[in-house]
Structure 1
Amino acid sequence: MFTMRPATEDDVTGVAEMIRARCGWQEQRGLESWREEVDDLAGQAGSGFMWLLEDGGRVVGCTTVTTHSPPKDWTPEEAADPALYLFTTVTDPAYREHKPGTLIALWAVDQAARQGRQWVRRGCYFPELVKYYETQGYDLIKEQDRSAGHLYLLARRAERLDLDALGLMTV
């Protein structure tokens, strides 16, 4: 059984180790990684916005969740719809067979519904991630050119899901 729980400052080391494992996996495949930002990303564990996916106390994934839209991403009308926004989701490649990224995404869909929100929204800069997020039920809503690259914005309607059937519980 996997567990989703809010991260705390005590989790920084475990989150950093998991992110470094992901960086190594990405680099072995010639993909960009967050190697230079590991400490900053892991430091978000104490922000009150990061959630962890754990297996028996081991951090196997994390995501940052907010209730407000990045100002340039969504129009004021879109931002007025209650939503959760996922940022910087990272998972341990050793757990790939368990699809931790999908578990995190589905947890967010259920969490948004439990909070009375209509949407879960996320963005990414890689078309391969768009395809992956589409397998999780997210739809590509729009694209924007940014100084950081071409941004893809996706959304999925919130709905209650049977997290127990997925082997996931929230603490």
Structure 2
Amino acid sequence: MKAILDTGISSNIIATAIAFVIYAVLQIATAKSLKRYGQELQFPDQRVFYIKKFFKVFYVTTLLTSIVLIWGIDLQAALVILSSLFAVVGVGLFANWSILSNITASFIIFFTAPYKIGDTIRIVEGDEGTEGRIEDIKLFYLKIRDSKGQIVSYPNNLIMQKPTIIVTSE
């Protein structure tokens, strides 16, 4: 037992346990805060779910990084692996930049709440445009029901770039 204490393994176990406790507290506090915020602005649960998922991925990544640092894993080797992984992911995201921009726009729409489900909006696009009632706000697009009853999927990044008029608000 003395050999275990001398090597600092018990302090690593305690630090790891503390990291897990901090992770759990942050996860619970963030989930409650986002739920309360979503209820105040009358967002559907599915919309809040996407934002919670983002924070969960961020917290898990932070937790894993903390554990790597606590246990003293060779950082150079870990950084080579991570940089290679980020390079591959970066190329994939660059190839699909619109996916990333749609997710970013979704976060902006969530936190600024310029539109709500049930609002009737008009998106100005030159002489034409899109007008209809917002049926749903997804991670990548808005579902808008036009006057003909058709559902139009409008990308979040485009709605942030185009002038949008709120015709009626619920």
- TM-score bucket of the superposed structures, by smaller chain: under 0.3
* TM-score after normalising by structure 1: 0.26
The structure whose Rg is larger is 2
More strand by share: 1
Q: Normalization by structure 2: what TM-score?
A: 0.26
